[in-house]
Amino acid sequence: MRKPRSHSPDGVPDLPAMPGWVGGGAVEAIETAAFRSGAALAHLQVLAADPALPLALLRDRLALAAAEVCVGAAGRREGQAALRDALHLTKPGDDSGPAGRILRLWSQAVTRPVSVGGLAKVLEGVPADRIASSLDAGGATPVGRAAVALESVLTDSPRGETAALVLADAVLSHSLGWDHLVPLISVALRPRALRLRGDELRLACHRAVAEGAGQAVALAADLARRAVRMRAAAPKLRAKGAARAVELFLARDAVAPAALAREVQGSMSDRAARRLCDRLVDLGALRELTGRDTFRLYGL
């Protein structure tokens, strides 16, 4: 696979944007939609080969976007900020609430390699044999196979939107030869499309993949630039456990200082974790995501 090699003088990768024709205008013919979704996936596949791109972080941030869609489909109104709070500010062992559980499910799904066993651990209510048959299903296109998996779960469990979308994106990723689930259908499929069946649902999935891949490409370009700044700042850090902290920030959408201290247990106190986060903000390598003075969350 050819790797993109264009970089700016300061070492920041210049990842090419998705061609405008891929997502431009409404598409009614399924053949045209399939061509566009295929082109979008091919473009994303090339970008994913760039070593500057923090793929784990891209997946986790797309998981946040997918969770927001699923929360909306369930009739709830929590946005991304509320979802982050529900997941990251809930004490270990406490219930993070419906929204937090949806984000936790997505975060676990994109972290585990795509496999029957891995998906069975996060998809409650979806039998392992259903997961296995979906991952091994044949079909003309990866998107078509994903649409079949989506329809199958929704037919048996009309209220199981989140599990259905996770499985659909898992089938898509598996069909493309990717080791981990990349949320694409889920970040762009309209909730009303979950009521469609047959060719109408397949058309909606092709449209969603083209749009979702476009979102992923734009996000990838932004994260690649931010990752360069984080890696450049790493040698300036003197705190014990700083190397592990940098690894976490390059892999997770958001990190609370308390969680950071737990991850590097024995090397960093809560106060030291907060100081490290603020130091990275001062260096321009990290953002504080909440805008609050307390209960802060940090991420690229």
End-to-end CA distance of the chain: give it in Å, rounded.
28
Closest CA to 169 of 117, 134, 126: 134
User: What stretch of H or E contains 206?
Assistant: helix 198-233
What are the tens digits of pLDDT across the range 224-264? 999 999 999 999 998 788 899 999 999 999 999 999 998 88
Q: How far is CA 180 from CA 112, 131, 264, in A?
A: 7, 15, 25
- For 81-117, b where at least 16 C-beta lie within 10 A, e where not — what string? ebbbbbbbbeeeeeebbebbbbbbbbbebbbeebebe
Judge: domain 237-299, CATH 1.10.10.10: yes
- The C-alpha angle with vertex 8 and arms to 2 and 9, in degrees rounded to 5, equals 130
Report the pLDDT value the prediction gives residue 93, as an integer from 0 to 100. 79
Residue-averaged pLDDT of the chain: 89
Q: What is the mean pLDDT of residues 92-113?
A: 91
- Is the pLDDT at 147 greater than 90, yes or no? yes
Q: How many angstroms separate the CA atoms of 78 and 84, rounded?
A: 10
Q: How is residue 271 written in tokens?
A: 């106060």
Closest CA to 102 of 164, 147, 157: 164
- Is the pLDDT at 84 greater than 60, yes or no? yes
Which of 14-18, 36-40, 195-199, 295-299 is least confident? Answer: 14-18
Domain spans in the chain, listed from the N-terminal domain onward: 29-224, 237-299
Q: What is the mean pLDDT of residues 134-152?
A: 90
- For 287-299, b where at least 16 C-beta lie within 10 A, e where not — what string? eebbeeeeebbbb
User: What stretch of H or E contains 32?
Assistant: helix 30-48
What are the tens digits of pLDDT across the range 230-239? 999 999 998 7
Report the pLDDT value the prediction gives residue 275, as an integer from 0 to 100. 93
Look up tokens 């709070």; give the residue.
Answer: 85
- Is the pLDDT at 8 greater than 60, yes or no? no
